[in-house]
């Protein structure tokens, strides 16, 4: 497990230990719904029906949050789907948002970050997703693999991880397509992810844990929190990679709906601030736009 995930588990281990359910379970049927066509090449189709009415195996990816881990995993899986071809696998990426029109515009503006030729869009009915699907807003990504319109694999991820989750999803896709060999995840990681990995140090900054620990103490006074935050911000200003790692941690805590579990109101205010501000880092290419688009969609 990568060091970034290890440090994150220090803060959100409770979320990782929970049995999370989202969407139709294995053996349940899929129900068709409409989504706004954001990226599918056929511009004459303003909406798309998902899943498509055909006898091909189906892959549905519901993205519940606008974050690097969620879209990094989703894009990698969709690259595999695009490689296999629409004639073999009917794949759709569905982003959930409280403002579907804004979200569709955003997806078009950052279209270079998404695989080509895939049914990609925004559910038109809002952030809860299709009512019949019972999606869980506390997860970051829900992946459904189906055959004959029946779910054969369901993956609900609070903390998406390419290293942990992608191989399982790749295995389910290989199984539904009848492929004897499972594709390598490394062959389908988006270029932006490869740039990030090439520039990221092998080890998580060892100073982050002792810096962050005083900040999240429930017994900390406002003066204690302010002092800890000052040290963190000073360190982040001198260490660009640590700055990005802090931002990632803050966003993941917020996206897991666990912010209230950490520290006092003053501490939570700083975490919200860093989730928004600690994004752009000199020398590290981001895989999401800079205009606060990596900020969690849930407030």
By 3-state DSSP, what share of the chain in percent is helix, strand and coil, each rounded to 5?
45, 15, 40
Architecture of domain 3-196: 3-Layer(aba) Sandwich (3.40)
Please tell me the number of Cα atoms within 13 Å of 295 on its side-chain side: 11
| Residue 29 DSSP symbol | B
* DSSP codes joined into one string, 208-265: HHHHHGGGG-TT--HHHHHHHHHHHHHHHHH-HHHHHHHHHHHHHHHHTT-GGGSS-H
Domain boundaries, the chain: 3-196, 204-277
Q: pLDDT value at position 258?
A: 82
Average pLDDT by consecutive 10-residue portion of the chain (299 residues)? 45 49 94 87 75 84 90 91 90 92 87 80 91 92 94 93 91 95 84 41 73 91 94 90 88 82 92 84 38 36
Q: pLDDT value at position 299?
A: 35
Question: CA-CA distance, 85 to 77, in Å (whole number)?
Answer: 13
Tokens of 22: 């989202």
- The pTM of this model reads 0.60
Q: pLDDT value at position 275?
A: 87
Phi, psi (degrees; rounded to nearest 5) at 146: -135, 155
Q: pLDDT value at position 132?
A: 92
Q: pLDDT value at position 73?
A: 92
> In this structure, are strands 58-63 and 90-95 parallel, antiparallel, or unpaired?
parallel
Q: pLDDT value at position 78?
A: 92
């Amino acid at each position: 497990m990568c060091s970034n995930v290890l440090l994150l588990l220090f803060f959100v281990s409770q979320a990782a230990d929970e049995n999370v359910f989202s969407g139709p379970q294995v053996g349940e049927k899929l129900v068709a719904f409409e989504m706004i066509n954001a990226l599918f090449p056929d511009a004459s189709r303003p909406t798309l029906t998902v899943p498509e009415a055909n006898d091909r195996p189906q892959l549905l990816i519901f993205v519940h949050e606008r974050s690097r881990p969620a879209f990094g995993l989703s894009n990698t899986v969709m690259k595999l789907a695009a490689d296999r071809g629409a004639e073999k696998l009917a794949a759709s990426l569905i982003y959930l948002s409280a403002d579907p029109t804004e979200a569709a515009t955003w997806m078009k503006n950052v279209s270079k970050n998404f695989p080509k030729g895939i049914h990609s869009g925004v559910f038109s009915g809002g952030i809860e997703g299709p009512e019949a699907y019972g999606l869980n807003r506390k997860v970051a990504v829900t992946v459904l693999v189906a055959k004959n319109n029946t779910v054969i694999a369901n993956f609900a991820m609070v903390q998406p991880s390419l290293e942990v989750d992608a191989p399982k999803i790749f295995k389910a896709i290989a199984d539904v397509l009848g492929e004897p060999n499972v594709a390598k995840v490394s062959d389908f990681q988006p270029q932006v992810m490869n740039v990030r990995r090439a520039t990221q140090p092998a080890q998580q900054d060892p100073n982050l844990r002792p810096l962050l620990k005083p900040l999240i103490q429930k017994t900390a006074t406002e003066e204690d929190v302010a002092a800890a935050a000052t040290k963190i911000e000073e360190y982040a200003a001198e260490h660009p990679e640590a700055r990005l790692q802090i931002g990632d941690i803050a966003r993941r805590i917020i996206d897991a709906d666990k912010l209230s579990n950490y520290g006092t109101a003053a501490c939570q205010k700083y975490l919200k601030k860093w989730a928004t501000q600690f994004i752009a880092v000199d020398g590290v290419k981001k895989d999401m736009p800079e205009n606060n688009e990596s900020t969690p969609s849930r407030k």
